[in-house]
Structure 1
Amino acid sequence: MALETYSYKVDSDVVKDEGKNRFSRDDDTLAAGSGVVVCGTVLGLVAATGKFAPLAPGASDGTQNAAAIILQNAHATDEDVTVVNLKRRAQVVLQALVWPAGINATQQAAALAALETRGIVARTGV
């Protein structure tokens, strides 16, 4: 029997510096229908509900704009889930961020710029 190897990313793999006393984090709602979301996924904010969902560059509901980074694994297929998000003043590892399939360089740059307006700076190998 082959040995199975699992790789789990945790918040310390994503966040390398943040505000004192975890000021950079908040408990938020991950919207039902988001599916399985892994730590480091870039999120957008659904304007109509105030809930978060994975970044969707082609959307027009607010999730086209990067607003946070989830700091845990979550399963929000059938119902809303309370999660911990990074939302302000932090440095993150660029390579640890999880992007939607098919995102292009221009969309990724726009998402990184949107995170920077919140004080979240992505750096290569911080």
Structure 2
Amino acid sequence: MTVLAESRHPAEFILSEASGQRSRENITLASGAGVVAPGTVLGKVTATGKYIASAVGASDGSEVPAAINIYGADATAADAKVSAILRDAEVNGNCLTYHADRDQPAEKTAANEALKSLGVIVR
């Protein structure tokens, strides 16, 4: 029997957000970020203002979680414009995707606390 695996759906992680969708903002994923799934926790690169997956080992500003990608995008060869949650929202932590190096529970907790400081509550 064939087993099918369904990937994350856009915005499925959002439990609630501020009225008028003011929780959202259009951002740019940096070229080279690869395929970024919906619900990926992103960090902002200080030098460019563009976003990539927030990695614990980064030292370019992106180590601090700053947004959550709403829609999947391919930023492998070029920048990609996407919508992201940046403030005032509640999200389902079971539906979030973290950078592969953020694999320890304490690292995920720290990321969730950084999001909390932006008003994004991870449930």
Which residue of 2 is the match for residue 107 of structure 1?
107
What is the RMSD computed on CA atoms of the aligned residues? 1.3
For residues 57-95 of structure 1, give each alpha carbon's deviation from its aligned partner in whole angstroms, at most 9, with x where no partner exists. Answer: 101001100000000010001110000110000000010
**Counterpart secondary structure, 1:11:** coil
* % identical aligned pairs: 37
For residues 100-123 of structure 1, give each alpha carbon's deviation from its aligned partner in whole angstroms, at most 9, with x where no partner exists. Answer: 113222221111111000000010
Report the residue type matching 2:114 in the other structure. Answer: A
Report the residue type matching 1:81 in the other structure. Answer: A
Which residue of 2 is the match for residue 41 of structure 1?
40
Equivalence map 1:22-37=2 (5 Å): 22-37=21-36
Cα distance in 2 for residues equivalent to 1:10 and 1:91: 17
Unaligned runs of 5+ in 2: none
Which residue of 2 is the match for residue 82 of structure 1?
81
Report the residue type matching 1:61 in the other structure. Answer: D
Unaligned runs of 5+ in 1: none
Cα distance in 2 for residues equivalent to 1:91 and 1:20: 12
**1:59–1:102 distance in 2 versus 1, CA, 3 Å:** closer
Deviation at 1:6, TM superposition (A): 4.5
Deviation at 1:42, TM superposition (A): 0.3
Which sits farther off after the overlay, 6-15 or 30-39? Answer: 6-15
Which residue of 2 is the match for residue 63 of structure 1?
62
